[in-house]
Amino acid sequence: MYRRLISRLSFVGGMLMLLGPWAGFTSAVVDDVALTAQTRQQITAIESIPLTLPVMVGSAASPIVKMEITATGSQKPLSITKVTASIVGEGAETEFHSVQLFCSGSDSTFRNATQFGESQATGTGKLHAFNGKQQLAEGQNYIWLAGQLKENVDIDRMVAAEIDSITFSNGEIKSFAVDPSVQRLAVSVRDAGDDGVHTYRIPGLATTNQGTLIAVYDVRRRSGGDLPGDIDVGMSRSIDGGRTWQPMKIIMDMGDDPDWRYDGVGDPAVLVDRNTGTLWVAGTWSHGNRSWHGSGPGLTPDQTGQLMLVRSDDDGVTWSEPINITHQVKRPEWCFLLQGPGKGITLHDGTLVFAAQYQDPPNPDDAKAHRLPHSTIIYSKDHGNTWHVGAGAFDDTTESQVIEIEPGVLMLNCRYNRGSVRVVMTTDDLGKTWRQHSTSQRSLIEPGSCMASLIDVDREVGADVGNWLLFSNPDSTRGRHHLTIKASPDRGLTWPDSHRLLLDEGASAGYSCMSMIDNKTVGILYEGSRSQLTFQRIAISDLVSEQSPSP
């Protein structure tokens, strides 16, 4: 009976009509119904997808290899039943606690991946086999090889791996001969939940005269939002070049009264006085709602945000009580003045310089001029006893970084709130006047406003190691991803494609800060996709050489 009914379904003029003896009893039609013959599922493509993500020391699972399997047809769906994979490199297998396989279905990110089956011993540490059952959907399907590194692994090394074969439920075995996927190692300096903290953000990084690395950052205790809020400035210290980090210390805490929005302080920048060895950290204090949107004209804490400093004279072991320099540097008519987060510098003549930013007075009659921000600098010529401020460098710029490109000449590299490009300005009179650099709004992109890092390699190490400048930020105009270091061989005039190194392709908050560890190695602390504050050691030769590094 059902077969007879189905046999009398017919298309007439694009409409499904009911024919036969029942036709007189109904006027119902189904408009624009497409009947497609279902086909048996088959594999049409398997591809190794290039991947660049930091492999985190101590993480339970860091992705190393990514494969894309394309299937067509939905009848009798196939399943993955076995995968074999190899760890590449002499002795590399001994650096892993475990190696796992994950599937993320049609999601091309590792974010929602689930572990596939069980690992089976193969008789060799390099080769791993995984048995299980993962049904394929029509379209793209993704599998990942991931690993858990041992805690004592050398983060200067890289790891490499490959997926060798995939077995499907129809008995078909696909084998591959592709180059292994090579990933750099990293450590998490801070991540969500550490010490009960919701979010860590806004990295600053500097190397002291003793070779100690000092990392500073926002400790956002209750949420991930900016000031105002329950935020303190944290500091982590490393005496082995960033391989390990001492427990966090809170070096700025202005109170926790909920009636005053917890008196948050944040957006830190760190500076090393190269002549005295003193360390300085700047932060902005919001007494109540006295931050980017709530700060106003005036000088007192109940009117406007406060520019605070702390200092250390013992290589970051202990820190002073906060020092308020708002009255020294802020003009009363400005709405807000704060440091540019990241790091400051010592000039050839001993002047200390932080990048900074201020907001113009309120102007409700002119939207473009209302609280308009400008990047600038604050500086001290007496080792931090007194501080001064420069003039605005460029309209609607914030969160800049500063270097000295020649004695007495400063370059300010600025976040630009009106476009996906960096504004670059120079001054030879400590910010009294500014000129646009030839590369301004041309050479360096950004994802529609984001903090970046800029350092002078020679100046940081105190030696001639090639006259390189380094710049880091998300290398994108559409989102904060693809965190990249770029190197300039000519003091920032050009940034060749051959001197660019991708560190983390994943989406993140995107801020970063660099510091030279020694003549051959740069350290970078950044907001990564695998950890909120990720640290990596990068050989300068990997940036300035056109050869790809080996595992």
Domain locations in the chain as residue ranges: 2-31, 42-186, 191-543
In the DSSP assignment, the letter for residue 300 is S
Tell me the average pLDDT across 253-272.
Answer: 97
What's the rounded Cα separation, in Å, for the pair 530 and 27? 60
pLDDT at 8 over 90: no
Length of the chain as a residue count: 551
Q: Give the pLDDT confidence score for residue 545 in this predicted structure.
A: 81
Nearest to 456 by CA among 484, 414, 492: 492
Contact yes or no for 374/336 (Cβ under 8 A): no
Six-digit token pair at 181? 């996927």
Q: Give the pLDDT confidence score for residue 124 in this predicted structure.
A: 58
Q: With bands split at pLDDT 50, 70 and 90, how would you rate the model's confidence at 24? A: very low
What's the rounded Cα separation, in Å, for the pair 87 and 218? 37
Q: Residues near 366 by Cβ (< 8 Å), separated by ≥ 6?
A: none
For 191-543, CATH gives 2.120.10.10
Continuous segment of H or E residues that includes residue 471:
strand 469-474
Q: CATH number for 42-186: choose from 3.40.190.10, 3.40.50.300, 2.60.40.1290, 1.20.120.140.
A: 2.60.40.1290
Which range (15-24, 209-218, 380-389) has the least confidence? 15-24
Place of tokens 């908050």: 509
What's the rounded Cα separation, in Å, for the pair 512 and 426? 22
pLDDT digits (tens, 9 = 90+) for 196-242: 999 999 999 999 999 999 999 999 999 999 999 999 999 999 999 99
What's the rounded Cα separation, in Å, for the pair 288 and 247? 29
Q: Give the pLDDT confidence score for residue 91 in this predicted structure.
A: 74
Tell me the average pLDDT across 112-136.
Answer: 83
Tell me the average pLDDT across 343-352.
Answer: 98
Q: Give the pLDDT confidence score for residue 5 in this predicted structure.
A: 33
DSSP per position, 168-183: ETTS-EEE---PPEEE
Tell me the average pLDDT across 319-327.
Answer: 98
C-alpha distances in Å from residue 141, one per residue of 18, 76, 80, 108, 373: 40, 16, 11, 8, 47
pLDDT at 335 over 90: yes
Radius of gyration of the CA atoms of the chain, in A:
29
Q: For a pLDDT cut of 70, what percent of the chain falls above it? A: 91
What's the rounded Cα separation, in Å, for the pair 448 and 419? 6
Q: Residues near 256 by Cβ (< 8 Å), separated by ≥ 6?
A: 230, 262, 263
Q: Give the pLDDT confidence score for residue 287 in this predicted structure.
A: 98
pLDDT digits (tens, 9 = 90+) for 355-380: 999 999 999 999 889 999 999 999 99
Q: Give the pLDDT confidence score for residue 177 in this predicted structure.
A: 87
C-alpha distances in Å from residue 89, one per residue of 60, 95, 149, 195: 21, 11, 15, 36
DSSP per position, 392-449: --SBTEEEEEEEEEETTEEEEEEEETTSSB-EEEEESSTTSS-EE-TTTTTS-B-SSS
Q: Give the pLDDT confidence score for residue 123 in this predicted structure.
A: 54
CA 129 to chain centre: 33
pLDDT digits (tens, 9 = 90+) for 424-464: 999 999 999 999 999 999 999 999 899 999 999 999 999 99
What's the rounded Cα separation, in Å, for the pair 415 and 425? 11
Please give the positions annotated as active site. Answer: 399
pLDDT digits (tens, 9 = 90+) for 167-178: 999 999 999 988
**pTM for the full predicted model:** 0.92
- In the chain, the N- to C-terminal Cα span, in Å, equals 68
Q: Give the pLDDT confidence score for residue 21 in this predicted structure.
A: 41
Q: For a pLDDT cut of 90, what percent of the chain falls above it? A: 86
How does the average pLDDT of the chain come out, rounded? 92
Tell me the average pLDDT across 292-319.
Answer: 98
pLDDT digits (tens, 9 = 90+) for 35-86: 567 899 999 999 999 999 999 998 999 999 999 999 999 999 999 999 999 9
pLDDT at 13 over 50: no
Six-digit token pair at 435? 């000129």
pLDDT at 31 over 90: no
Q: Give the pLDDT confidence score for residue 549 in this predicted structure.
A: 53
Nearest to 432 by CA among 379, 480, 473: 379
Q: Could you tell me whether strands 158-168 and 173-175 are parallel, antiparallel, or unpaired per DSSP bridges?
A: antiparallel
CA neighbours closer than 13 Å in the CB half-sphere of residue 264: 24
Coil, strand or helix at 539: strand
